[in-house]
Structure 1
Amino acid sequence: MDYVDKIHLTQDQNRRFAKMNLTRLVFTNSRFEGVMTTLPQTQTIIDGLGVDGVSIDDINVIVQLKRGWEFVTNSDEPIDLTTAKKINQIVARDQSLAPGELRTGQGFVMTAKGDFVPPSVDEAKEIAYLKDLEADTNRSATERSIELMYHLMRNQVFWDGNKRTATLLANKMMIDHGKGLINIPVDKWSTWNQLIADYYHSGNMNKLKQWTYNNGVQGISQQPERKKAHNRIVAPKRNLKR
């Protein structure tokens, strides 16, 4: 399949698009941690206020995701492991015992098909992977961003916050190249859960990558006489654990 870029913006336009959707993006990504706030509650917390009935832990997840999104929408740093570590240090600050540090022990991920044990982390290989991916101009930025996101999710390179880190770094690549955002629509969340579970256990990304390209690339393309919207940002119900 030819994964041509669907969205064509300048980096500045893409940054503004992400900032306009900050609350909904945080609302979506907080589901990775099982946070079940409403969209208005999420906005209130982003505005710096407390919400009755929402735990301090959930508030911290939302606040750190806000800071993570602010980092990726404003940073000029490259797509590399150092940047990934900085993102993880932000989003996993209150959940991980070692935020921003690579996983050195064994772990597992709960999936719809049972527990998945990720491979050991090889820092040199991860550095080379990210360098080669960013330099691969033969494929679209959209395809490379999707691949980056799922590679980091499956490899679980950090102790905690891997899905949040993977999503933010992949979207930084999208933003840097002006190609929109990656976000899974809420009404397709159950399908995504099954597809990512299949990918975790098989290691074959093809079906998940194509499905995400068809359903999860969102933005506004600048046309000569009008703007064409692609898959407006929506919020999914609940994700797998970290």
Structure 2
Amino acid sequence: MSKIRFTIATLAVTSFCGLADAQTTQVLPAQTSPPPVQPVAPAQQPLPQQNGSIVDQADRYESRRVVTDSKQQGPTVKEAILQKLQKANEAEIELAKLAIQKSDNEDVKKLAQTIVQDHEACNEKLQKMTGHDKNSGQGQHAQQDRTTSNQQAGRLSTSDQSPTVPKELCRIAEQACENSLKMTKDMLSKYKGQDFNMAFLGQQCVAHTMMLAELKAIESSGPQELQQMAQEASQKVEQHLEKSKQLAKKLEDDRKNKNSDRS
């Protein structure tokens, strides 16, 4: 900036001096010699670039625009699936912990403990795939950082960007999961003893059937990088489902036997 100011000042002084010479020449008596030649100001040099080339400035502008746009967009399909699975796992963990507290059946408690351990382990894997752990909030910015980095390098076209899911749809899915959890807890809180055990096992059969169906869909039609995860999770979910069915049948048979003995 000091060089620019110096150049402008030099041009101004030179022009002023030339103007002063011209005025002086008009005052002096006429001479036979040719009039003095006006000094020619040096050609103005182009201003130096302060922030890199024009191309660099355009790239930076485009990067800022992409970051702004990405903040207004929802998560990618992969991120939306991972978030949904995490919410479902969290619900199963909370309900299983409730069963550990309220159930009077050791088999039901043992199944609930297994559900807590397996779903917590699954959520840890999901959190690693989203790029953050429980105590950090970097996962939600991971896609923005990747997009910005690629855009700055000038190697990402619009067609290469991952499709996104509308934020409104994600909020509805999240709210639906929270509503389902609350209604299920309210329902289970009304039961005690054998009635609670049967209600919990019935709910687990329904929940794990739905989760297994979703994991199977991801395994066959979801993003390729999630298919292996879905296959591994399906095995655990299927084990929980079968154990819940077996235990529910056992408790029902025990109830029938007790009723028959009384009669």
Q: What is the TM-score when the length of structure 2 is the normalising length?
A: 0.24
Highest RCO, 1 vs 2 (Cα 8 Å, sep ≥ 6): 1
Higher helix share: 2
TM-score calculated relative to the size of structure 1: 0.26
The structure with more radius of gyration: 2
